[in-house]
């Protein structure tokens, strides 16, 4: 087995990631599950042989010194994002994420939330927070929104990510992708540079700290459309994390959010009951006057109530009830999330 055959198998099996570690059998991430390949575990020599086409002598020296290496790898007509690092007992680990050359169409992933997604893609300015747990597809959702903008608007678009998930080709828009760890060392540096590059739309795959949050809010305040991903399990969890990150600046931040927020959307993926693959379940709030008032006062209980009662918002339970009725999700799979 070499890296080319490993990549070929990963692509053929529609994997999202390849996981390598000394002492372990190589694994693929397929539809959210980790699947071991039918091959021997890697030792130091076989790991090094696999990684030889991707790592320079300097990169190996950094890894052996305990510093992670992140970069985009081009192998033929395929692109991968790589992170490699040293682990316990002088071993090594690496993860390759397959960078898709085809960005999903918004119609493919916006099931049950197309009106909201179209509103977001058509917004000239403001802030959208796209959330979900790890593996929920939030990066794909953000990518599909960016692609809709790319296809329909004459806009200058920057996509900032810690390892890109897709390769965007400029269409009606002009799209530039920035890789953290390769093009810029930090999100803050990338956001600062982007702010001065005449952007219309900025998509960010993480909000790592309060400074990045501050810059994202400023970008939204100054007339740009900002799509920002965040790890969170619910709408109230998103805003709680944002308020906590603001610390002493919580009151100014709530005021800025009330003025500039477009929507907060949270998603999960469920096994599709009526066919292959998985189906997204979205919950959201839209920043209407009632939601803005609750944000301004930091009233998360009020936001939870509005999410279930306001016709412009949607709770996860309401979404799952529809998906169950349509036969797309089983009651068994949805049960842990009903009645919350």
Spatial separation of the C-alpha atoms in residues 193 and 295, rounded to whole Å? 30
Per-position DSSP letters for 7-21, written without gaps between them: HHHHHHTT-SEEEEE
Examine the domain organization and report whether 215 and 137 are in the same domain.
yes
Residues 6+ apart with CB under 8 A from 101: 77, 78, 79, 166, 167
Q: Report pLDDT digits (tens) over 172-215.
A: 999 999 988 778 989 999 999 999 999 999 999 999 888 999 99
Pair (159, 308) in one structural domain? yes
Q: Which of 102-111, 187-196, 309-318 has the lowest mean pLDDT?
A: 102-111
- 340, pLDDT greater than 60: no
Which residues form the domain of 68? 3-99
Residues 183 and 134 in one domain: yes
CB atoms within 10 A of CB 12: 8
**Tell me, what's the pLDDT at 276?**
85
Of 99, 127, 145, the domain-final residue? 99
pLDDT above 60: residue 310: yes
Confidence of residue 143 (pLDDT cuts 50, 70, 90): very high
Cα–chain-centroid distance for residue 236? 19
93 lies in the same domain as 173:
no
Domain closes at, from 55, 75, 99: 99
Cα–Cα distance for residue pair 279/106, rounded to 1 Å? 14
> Who wins on pLDDT, 235 or 64?
235
Contact (CB, 8 A) for 220 and 126: yes
The verdict on 328 and 236 lying in the same domain is yes
Backbone angles phi, psi at 329, to 5 degrees: -135, 140
CATH code, domain carrying 69: 3.30.450.90
Q: What is the pLDDT of residue 80?
A: 82
User: What's the mean pLDDT when you consider all of the chain?
Assistant: 91
- Looking at residue 42, what is its pLDDT? 93
> What radius of gyration do the chain's Cα atoms show?
21
Token duo for residue 274 = 């009526």
Question: Which of 99, 118, 151 is the endpoint of a domain?
Answer: 99
Three-state DSSP at 104 gives coil
Rounded to whole angstroms, the Cα distance separating 313 from 291 reads 9
Give CA 252 to chain center in angstroms.
27
pLDDT band at 321 (very low <50, low <70, confident <90, very high): very high
Place of tokens 């209980």: 301
CA distance 184 to 154: 26
**Together in a domain, 116 and 34:** no
pLDDT score at 31 = 79
Predicted pLDDT of residue 87? 85
Confidence tier at 318 by pLDDT (50, 70, 90): very high
The total of structural domains in the chain comes to: 2
Is the pLDDT at 149 greater than 90, yes or no? yes
* Statement to judge: residues 133 and 79 lie in one domain: no
List the CATH number of the domain containing 111: 3.40.50.300
Pair (138, 250) in one structural domain: yes
Considering the domain architecture, whether residues 93 and 159 belong to the same structural domain is answered as no
């Amino acid at each position: 087995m070499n890296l080319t055959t490993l990549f070929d198998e990963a692509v053929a099996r529609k994997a999202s990631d390849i996981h390598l570690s000394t002492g372990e059998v190589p694994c693929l991430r397929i539809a959210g599950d980790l699947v071991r390949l039918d091959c021997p575990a890697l030792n130091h020599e076989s790991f090094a042989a696999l990684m030889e086409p991707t790592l320079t002598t300097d990169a190996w020296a950094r890894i052996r010194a305990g510093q992670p290496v992140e970069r985009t790898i081009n192998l033929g007509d395929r692109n991968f994002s790589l992170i490699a690092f040293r682990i316990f007992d002088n071993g090594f680990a690496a993860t390759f994420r397959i960078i898709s050359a085809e960005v999903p169409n918004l119609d493919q992933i916006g099931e049950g939330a197309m009106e909201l997604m179209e509103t977001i893609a058509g917004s000239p300015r403001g802030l959208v927070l796209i959330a979900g747990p790890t593996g929920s597809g939030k990066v794909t959702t953000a990518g599909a929104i960016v692609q809709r903008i790319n296809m329909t608007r004459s806009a200058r678009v920057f996509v900032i990510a810690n390892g890109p998930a897709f390769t965007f080709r400029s269409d009606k828009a002009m799209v530039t992708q920035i890789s953290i760890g390769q093009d810029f060392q930090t999100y803050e540096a990338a956001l600062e540079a982007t702010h001065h590059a005449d952007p219309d739309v900025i998509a960010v795959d993480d909000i790592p700290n309060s400074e990045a949050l501050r810059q994202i809010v400023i970008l939204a305040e100054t007339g740009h459309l900002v799509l920002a991903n965040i790890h969170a399990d619910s709408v109230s969890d998103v805003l709680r994390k944002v308020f906590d990150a603001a610390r002493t600046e919580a009151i100014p931040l709530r005021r800025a959010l009330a003025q500039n927020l477009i929507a907060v959307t949270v998603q999960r993926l469920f096994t599709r009951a009526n066919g292959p693959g998985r189906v997204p379940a979205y919950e959201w709030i839209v920043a209407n006057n009632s939601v803005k008032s609750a944000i301004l006062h930091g009233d998360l209980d009020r936001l939870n109530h509005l999410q279930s009662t306001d016709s412009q918002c949607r709770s996860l339970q309401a979404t799952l009830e529809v998906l169950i009725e349509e036969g797309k999700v089983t009651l068994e799979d949805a049960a842990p999330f009903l009645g919350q």
